Structure formats: C-alpha cells, structure tokens
Amino acid sequence: MRRRFDIDGTAIDAALLRRPASYALAVGGDIQPIDLSPPAADGTQVLRVGERAFAVHVARDGDTAFVQIAGRAFSIRTIEPLTVFAHAGAANADLTARAPMPGTVAAVRVQVGAQVSKGETMMVIESMKLETAITAWRDGTVEAIHLAAGQTFDRDAPLVSLAAEAAE
C-alpha cells in the first residue's frame, strides 16, 4: 500500500511491500529489501536497507516515530490519505514548518526577513532529549518565527513561516 510520510517536513511517497518472509520499501522506482531487528538491551536496533546496515534508535509518540541514525535524528509521521487529498489543491500549502512532536525550542538560527536556502537549519527543537533541526524545505524568505528559544509547544504548532513565492 502506498503512503505519504512526513520526514522532517519533507513529504515522501513510499510503499511497504510484503514479500514471502521479508519486506521491501519502494520509493520512486527504487525497491530495496528492508529489515528492522528487535531492540537490543540498550534499545539499539539494526536497520538493513539493501546491502547496508545501520544502528538505529527508535522512539514513538502516537503516530510519529523519532529515529536516530548515524548521528542524525529524524521524525517520521504517516500522513493519512484523507489529509493528502484535502491538501492536494491548496495553493502555497508549504508556507509553514510545523512541529512534528511536542517539545521546546532549543535555538532559533534565523531572523524575520532572512533569505534561506533549502536544507538550511532555521530552528532546533528538543523533544524526549533528542534535538531535531527544522530545515528550510525550499529557498525563500523567512516571514515569521512563531516561537522563541525556551518556549514549549504542542505537536503541529507553527514554528517558522516562509513568504509565499511570487507569481512568475
């Protein structure tokens, strides 16, 4: 079944395929066998993707998984199909980065009016002792910073907004 996932603010369409005695992950035209081992005593699991293996830590909060892999942390949330359909035609639907989980703002790295490039860290949040970078999902201008360092927030709270792109 195809699903859309929000991985740190980026929508990814993927399918988890069940095969006899195994699973595979299909993203775009790429299909890779995958496996996740049961947790060890320290909570570490081994994620195998194709021929590669990674030590990972996974924590869950409701429908969001927080994954730490190779020194980086990611939040992964399944976007329900009805939500995808509801937003399919929305113009400028990507104006605001929203909190993937409840937490506290650890640092704000941009100011209103700043030009940001895709992938640039705009804010760092902390949740469950795990820091997550909120990065720009496209090039743009910071229009609003909704929270200051030290402030707490709930899941889906607005964090940083970019200005609407000018019509060409």
pLDDT digits (tens, 9 = 90+) for 98-155: 888 889 999 999 999 999 998 899 999 998 788 888 888 889 999 999 999 999 998 8
How far apart CA 111 and CA 98 sit, in angstroms, is: 17
Domains and CATH numbers, the chain: 2-81 (3.30.700.30), 94-162 (2.40.50.100)
Specify the pLDDT at position 149: 94
Find the mean pLDDT for residues 82-107: 67
- Residue 86: pLDDT band by 50, 70, 90 thresholds? very low
Write down the pTM of the prediction.
Answer: 0.49
Instruction: Beginning with the edge strand found earlier in the chain, give each strand of the sheet holding 103-108 in spatial order.
Output: 130-135, 121-127, 103-108, 152-153
Structure tokens at 51: 């021929």
How far apart CA 50 and CA 1 sit, in angstroms, is: 20
- Residue 82: pLDDT band by 50, 70, 90 thresholds? very low
Specify the pLDDT at position 166: 58
Specify the pLDDT at position 94: 67
Could you read off the pLDDT of 7-57 as tens digits, one per residue?
877 878 888 788 777 888 888 778 889 998 898 998 899 989 889 999 998
Token match 């999902």: residue? 137
